Chain A
Amino acid sequence: MLKLSRYVLYDILRNKIVIAYTLFLFIVSFSMFRMEENGSKALLSLLSIVLIVLPLVSLVFTTIHYFNSYEFIELMLSQPLSRTRILLSEYAGVCLSLLSAFWMGVGIPVLVFSPDPTGLALLFTGTSLTVVFTSIAFLAAVRSRDKARGIGFALLLWFYFALIYDGLVLLILFSFSEYPMEKFTLLLSALNPIDLGRIFIMLKMDISALMGYTGALYKDFFGSGQGVLFTAGIMGLWAILPLWGALRSFKRKDM
């Protein structure tokens, strides 16, 4: 399995897109820290990169990679190897390459310029979102028939998680504004990994604002050790469940 993952990694590194992605992240992070006079404003700008660009790149890159290495996968399937093993190696290879891009591109500047709790929360969120969206992309790719549909589906998913879901939440919160929705918003936040990651960072960044009213509930919940476990656990579920779904369909798939 390790051998297979290594081949996948070499393959990805050879087509240079990941290197370009790393450079892009690094230049953006570095210039933000140089441009803004205080680190927290730079982190704020990086927050949007982590919440928007990271899921998008993870989704699209993974889908394209899957379809590009379709022949390689077919070749592997002709070998005495289990399907689970092949897909997991693919996943590990893609995930590791994206993660190393994130750590080098964003991790190093953050650790150099702003190694505080907010910075670490940003790195945690970025790491989780990369893992989660790679896994979601695998589900989308395995279930789609061809490359165009796969990418389309991935983009749709990104659109849903990054934008539509928040719109729906806003709609729900306004429709039911007469009811006590505080606890319910905790559930709503768990249903979108981007929101969960965002709230996790906000607890460090906007703690003063969050202490008012509803926010105090978040602080009590997410701020406690239990809350950190909860966040990590839900993120873990978001990574494992789609991957498990992908494995299930991959095993039954007529290639």
Chain B
Amino acid sequence: MKVFFTILCSAWVLFSSGTSIIVGPGSPVRSLKKAIELAKEKDTIRLQAGLYKEGTLILTKSLTLIGDNNPVLDGEKKYEILLISGKNITVQGIVFRNSGYSAMNDYAAIKLVDCSRVTLDRNTILDAYFAIHVSNSVHCIIRNNRISGVPTSEQLTGNGIHLWKSDHALIENNQVQGHRDGIYFEFVTASTISNNRSEKNIRYGLHFMFSNDDTYRNNIFRDNGAGVAVMYSKKVRMEKNHFEENWGASAYGILLKDITDSYIGQNSFLKNTVGIHMEGSSRIEICQNQFRNNGWALKVQASCDDNVFHHNNFTGNSFDVGTNGTLVLNKFENNYWDNYEGYDMNKDGIGDIPYHPVSMYSMIVEQNPTTLMLFRSFMVSLLDKAEKAIPSLTPENLFDNKPMMKKLPL
């Protein structure tokens, strides 16, 4: 009898997984809080259009929460709106707005703590402190969300999508703007960031710390206060991203600090103050990228070693490469430089004399930035020509031995 009862119970649990609860002004359950209380594991809650002000909602059951016609959850600038801790949870199609601000806690519109297999899909988050905050979670998917904040200062604005100590996350097709960092990764491994658009954030479009074995591809990072920073990580793959118009004294397309064994390929860098800035980085392969109209295409500090730059296109940059010392442990090969003035006698498409991408003047500017005032003056071109004939200041080992004569088709 007892066995029979157990089987009956489990069958009941199993078959009831499809039930859905409708929450809305016209239905019996009017509050989402109530619906979450009523719901059993694997239920679906359908939130009808309307404005819900319910303080902080805590979701720990494996539920699917679907918004119909953009229902709005309002945090009244006081509360964290949705706190999720559990597994197999989906939140979809809901508008979150006005989440609270706190100097003590990282209040977020949606916070995920200790989760696994949680999906956030097609949500809209407006005026949040932190928009999506994920910690200690695995296999979470964040996709198709629209996130837009009101930028004030670095202290008063949180990150758009913030992940801490997670792995196997997938961040896809999101649009983030007006936050401190668009996407922030700290101790996140084996994750993918793809097809996102991160723009007009006050600090970085993407900020990466201590996050190994991650990939980001096909993203667009535009007009962020300081571009993209990738720091203290290993085995990061950066492919087919667009880095555009990151302007400022310390703005970079990508800032690489202590990165090793990584790959940067097929990206385009357009109109950044610095395309790639590298510091203390080793064993990075940088190939098939386009560098167009940047202030400096590359700034490779002397602390970098064993990096290989090959088959990139450098066109219309004010300076091709800048560096801060004469020690060069990196390799440049088969790149196309539009400032190359050499010739090709045997017509194999490769220039016969090496190209030195560091000009005398870029060394001078590195030492004394105010001299930027003299850029493109007759004086400076004379200095550059003299330096080309008799190199003294520029690192003589920094050259491309096989510069391409024609632009590479990328």
Contacts and interface: CB of A to CB of B under 8 A. Distances in A.
A119 to B, nearest CB: 15
A166 B251 CA distance: 29
A205 B293 CA distance: 9
Interface stretch (B118-126, B214-222, B377-385): B377-385
B316 A40 contact: yes
Interface of A: 38, 40-41, 44, 47-48, 51-52, 162-163, 166-167, 169-170, 173-174, 177, 181-182, 185, 188-189, 194-195, 198-199, 202, 205-216, 218
A44 B102 CA distance: 52
B370 A173 contact: yes
Contacts of A212: 248-249, 251, 273-274, 295, 369, 372
Nearest to A38: B316
B298 to A, nearest CB: 13
Contacts of A174: 368, 371
24 contacts: A44-B376, A48-B376, A48-B381, A51-B378, A52-B378, A162-B378, A166-B377, A167-B379, A170-B379, A173-B368, A173-B370, A173-B373, A174-B368, A188-B373, A195-B373, A202-B376, A207-B247, A207-B271, A208-B247, A208-B294, A209-B294, A211-B248, A214-B369, A216-B249
B338 interface: yes
A170 to B, nearest CB: 6
B176 to A, nearest CB: 23
Interface string B335-365: 0001000000000000000000000000010
A169 B378 CA distance: 13
A182 B295 contact: no
Interface of B: 247-249, 251, 271-274, 293-296, 315-316, 318-319, 338, 364, 367-382
B363 to A, nearest CB: 13
Contacts of B293: 208
Given A173-B368, A188-B373, A209 B318 contact: yes
Contacts of B381: 48
B358 to A, nearest CB: 15
Kindly list the 10 A-B residue pairs having the minimum CB-CB distance in the complex, ordered from nearest. Answer: A209-B295, A166-B379, A209-B318, A211-B247, A208-B295, A206-B318, A213-B369, A181-B370, A185-B373, A213-B249
Given A163-B378, A177-B370, A211-B295, 12 more contacts: A41-B316, A41-B338, A163-B382, A170-B364, A173-B368, A177-B367, A194-B377, A195-B373, A208-B247, A208-B293, A211-B249, A215-B372
A177 B372 CA distance: 13
A169 to B, nearest CB: 6
Nearest to B383: A170
B269 to A, nearest CB: 10
Given A41-B338, A208-B247, A166 B370 contact: no
B402 to A, nearest CB: 22
Contacts of A211: 247-249, 251, 273, 295
Q: Could you tell me the dominant secondary structure of chain A's interface residues? A: helix
A182 B272 CA distance: 22
Contacts of B274: 212
Contacts of B371: 170, 173-174
Nearest to A201: B376
A170 B372 CA distance: 10
Contact of B375 (A163, A167, A202): A202
Contacts of B380: 166
A47 B375 CA distance: 12
A189 B316 contact: no
Given A38-B316, A211-B251, A206 B375 contact: yes
A177 B364 CA distance: 12
Q: Which of B293, B295, B367, B373 has the most CB of A within 10 A?
A: B373
A195 B371 CA distance: 12
Contacts of A169: 373-374
Given A48-B378, A208-B293, A213 B338 contact: no
A209 B248 contact: no
A26 to B, nearest CB: 23
A177 B316 CA distance: 29
Contacts of B368: 173-174, 177
